[in-house]
Amino acid sequence: MKSIRIENITKVYDLARPDERAVDDVSLTVAEGELFFLLGPSGCGKTTLLRMIAGLTWPTAGRIHLGDRDVTDVSVDKRNTALVFQNYALWPHMTVAQNVEFGPKMKGVAAAQRRETAGRVLSIVQMEGYVRRKPVQLSGGQQQRVALARALAAEPDCLLLDEPLSNLDAKLRLQMRSELRRLIKSTGATAVYVTHDQKEAMSMADRIAVMNDGRIQQIGTPRDVYDHPGDRFVADFLGEGNFIEGRVAKTGATTVIETPAGQLLARIDDGPAAGATVTCCIRPERVTLQMGAVAARPEAAALPATVVGGVFLGEMAQLTCRLANDDVWKVTVLGESASAAPPEGAAVTLMVAGEHVVLV
């Protein structure tokens, strides 16, 4: 297992147009054994970055280190990474066993040992009964697991996963998340995992790098980037957020922010100076909904609003509420209250606790 160090990596596909950068000056370090996520919308450069780590795409500038080795100019077959492709790229003309044994075979591992390795990883992914099958004869989830087994069998220095769950149906995807994390963690591999699904990243990652437009916006643990998004893009991309601009009226243990919809309280350690204009971000599930008019409390602000719409989703309800300044916020109501959510047109108060207000 090796760490991954990326310095100033830039990818320009057409040198004649140096401003169109697929990846723009990215630097980051992935620790040994870490499960590291590259998260971002499609086209943000995360797959290009992953392919550069694998050696399938050549960077235009910058260096890539695996452990102590500078692999920037090393060809793909000599890097000892293993990539799980988005469409799995299982070889249709080979059986499951042949697919999985391919990596060890290329390393010159003897047949008996290859078989043993393949058996071991296939049992890790619970596919040991399918060795004689062809990929066509497997379901999507089974193919995904074989692809993972194939990568693991190569015993790579680092494991690279390119949206491995995106082709699975929703239920299977949910189920596979924890399973996949457990699997990767059990092998102790350093892993880089590319996805556009923030829930996948949140639930599986040790750390996440949020990317946009070829650049890294923020790196941190899931909790970090969710609770303290560095900017509006990150906040917006990681789950939903209600945004409102305001002016800092008072600083201290609790920062008071005057907004067009009313006063907000925020508990921030290094808040901006009084008078500064800020954007507040409040997650829908952090808003508590109260019927009728309710007064603000010391630790929570109260914003009057009207319910304008709602969707009942069983375990929760998602409401949209119009504030005093005509901004529309999303509010999530969980548990029993979901069934008792106020009807359209009801006057309500949105309670926002100070610790849930993030300035972005």
Query: Applying CB under 8 A, which residues contact other proteins?
Result: 7-8, 10, 12, 15, 18, 24-25, 27, 29, 54-56, 58-62, 72-78, 80-83, 85, 87, 89, 91-95, 98, 102-103, 106-107, 132, 134, 136-137, 150-151, 154
Q: How far apart are CA 350 and CA 287, in angstroms?
A: 6
Phi, psi of 344 (to 5 degrees): -60, 140
How many CB atoms are located within 10 Å of the residue 315 CB? 9
Please report how close the Cβ of residue 65 comes to other proteins at its closest, in angstroms: 11
Please report how close the Cβ of residue 106 comes to other proteins at its closest, in angstroms: 4
- Evaluated on CA atoms 147, 153, 156, 159, the torsion sign reads positive
Q: Tell me the pairing of strands 358-359 and 277-282.
A: antiparallel
Task: Give the residue among 202, 189, 178, 173 at the shortest CA–CA distance from 285.
Answer: 202
Nearer to other proteins, 119 or 272 (CB): 119
137 three-class SS? helix
Please report how close the Cβ of residue 107 comes to other proteins at its closest, in angstroms: 6
Nearer to other proteins, 24 or 287 (CB): 24
Please report how close the Cβ of residue 262 comes to other proteins at its closest, in angstroms: 42
Nearer to other proteins, 68 or 77 (CB): 77
Nearer to other proteins, 57 or 259 (CB): 57
Per the listing, tokens 């290329």 go with: 106
How many CB atoms are located within 10 Å of the residue 173 CB? 19
Task: Give the residue among 209, 239, 213 at the shortest CA–CA distance from 227.
Answer: 239
Nearer to other proteins, 87 or 178 (CB): 87
Please report how close the Cβ of residue 147 comes to other proteins at its closest, in angstroms: 9
Q: What is the CA radius of gyration of the chain?
A: 24
Nearer to other proteins, 89 or 353 (CB): 89
Nearer to other proteins, 55 or 342 (CB): 55
Nearer to other proteins, 98 or 251 (CB): 98
Please report how close the Cβ of residue 80 comes to other proteins at its closest, in angstroms: 7
Please report how close the Cβ of residue 164 comes to other proteins at its closest, in angstroms: 13
Q: What angle do CA 335, 336, 338 make, to 5 degrees?
A: 75
Q: How far apart are CA 328 and CA 231, in angstroms?
A: 20
CA 189: distance to chain centroid? 19
Nearer to other proteins, 91 or 312 (CB): 91
Nearer to other proteins, 82 or 359 (CB): 82
Secondary element (H or E) of residue 213: none
Residue 322 contacts by C-beta under 8 Å, 6 or more apart in sequence? 305, 306, 308, 328
Please report how close the Cβ of residue 89 comes to other proteins at its closest, in angstroms: 4
Please report how close the Cβ of residue 67 comes to other proteins at its closest, in angstroms: 16
Question: Which class for 67: exposed (0-12), middle (13-18), buried (19 or more C-beta within 10 A)?
Answer: middle
Please report how close the Cβ of residue 135 comes to other proteins at its closest, in angstroms: 8
Beta-strand ranges (E) seen in the chain are 4-12, 21-30, 35-39, 61-66, 69-70, 81-84, 158-162, 190-195, 207-212, 215-220, 242-250, 255-259, 262-266, 277-282, 287-291, 300-312, 316-323, 328-334, 347-353, 358-359
